[in-house]
Amino acid sequence: MRAYLQLVRLPNVFTAMADILLGYLFTHARLEPAGHFALLLAASSMLYLAGMVLNDYFDQEQDARERPARPLPSGRVTPQAARLLGGLLLVGGTACGWAATIVAGDPRPGVVATLLAAAVVLYDGVLKRTPLAPAVMGGCRTLNVLLGLSLSPDPWQTVHYVLAAGVGVYIAGVTLFARTEARTSGRGQLTAGLLIFLAGMGLLASLPRWASGQEWPPIVPPERWDLFWLALAAVIGWRAVRAVIEPIPANVQAAVRNCIFSLIILDAAAVLAVQDRFWALVILALLIPTMTLGRWLYAT
């Protein structure tokens, strides 16, 4: 069982859930209708887990050289079992998206889930080792937030696209930062990744500036909003700066793990633009299973 939990990177799935909470709460006063929200959450979770499984399936040769203890190269999980599991999760996640479309009468969940599934396969199977990989991974996260936004009562506004893009740009930067985490990384690459994920945070900080006044719930950020985001950038970015200074695998991997888990913090911070602190704390609570399981199962 532990081998399969390692294969799906279970601690990380809560970051995908945080994206769905962010998107849904950005367009709804509460997590209602509960059934609609649950379908989006299930779709996102299964598609994320599918991506983790297929990532290792397509990386078997590289992992045999660099990470021989992982489930597939160590033989604890067979390639056939991984392929089947990844395929079932992919189909299940897409089906949940279309189920949300059917019950809500809105085509967006099914369309976004299908695009997300296609992006997952494209990244893992074709583009992961190309220069386009960070952008495609960022696109996957953008689509995941759009999945959370997909049952908004009204058409998407500019601020919703900026919200999804902010998370996507952040993850694109983290992906670039992590590209050579198993060996000594180049400082130029790490610096570029750092600047890109800070730009993603900047987009999230700019959300109130993109509001049209027609959104619901209304966008009313708390006081000292910009200072709040500067503090977040300093707290999240310091490990990355340390890795740039000393780019050994241990430092880079620690920074990547911190950035991935910090996505939950960013989602909780962004939701404060439209919700009170209670819902931010609900998202932050996802850090508990993330950090607890992260002590037992690797996240990168």
Q: From first to last of its 300 residues, what are the pLDDT tens digits of the chain?
A: 999 999 999 999 999 999 999 999 999 999 999 999 999 999 999 999 999 999 999 999 989 988 899 999 999 999 999 999 999 999 999 999 999 999 999 999 999 999 999 999 999 999 999 999 999 999 999 999 999 999 999 999 999 999 999 999 999 999 999 998 877 789 999 999 999 999 999 999 999 999 998 899 999 999 999 999 999 999 999 999 999 999 999 999 999 999 999 999 999 999 999 999 999 999 999 999 999 998 888 766
| Other Cβ atoms within 10 Å of 220 Cβ, number | 11
**Model pLDDT, residue 296:** 84
Rounded to an integer, what distance in angstroms lies between the CA atom of residue 268 and that of residue 18? 8
At a CB cut-off of 8 Å and minimum separation 6, what does 138 contact? 168, 169, 170, 171, 172, 173, 175
At a CB cut-off of 8 Å and minimum separation 6, what does 162 contact? 203, 206, 207, 210
Q: Any long-range contacts for 186-189 (C-beta under 8 Å, 24+ apart)?
A: 186/247, 187/244, 187/247
**Model pLDDT, residue 294:** 86
Rounded to an integer, what distance in angstroms lies between the CA atom of residue 265 and that of residue 84? 33
**Model pLDDT, residue 180:** 83
Estimate to the nearest angstrom the gap between the alpha carbon of 124 and the chain centroid: 15
Query: With contact defined as beta carbons under 8 Å apart, do 232 and 247 qualify?
Result: no
**Model pLDDT, residue 299:** 67
Rounded to an integer, what distance in angstroms lies between the CA atom of residue 17 and that of residue 284? 11
Sketch out the chain's domains with CATH numbers: 2-294 (1.10.357.140)
Rounded to an integer, what distance in angstroms lies between the CA atom of residue 202 and that of residue 205? 5
Rounded to an integer, what distance in angstroms lies between the CA atom of residue 300 and that of residue 294? 10
| Other Cβ atoms within 10 Å of 2 Cβ, number | 11
**Model pLDDT, residue 300:** 67
**Model pLDDT, residue 16:** 98
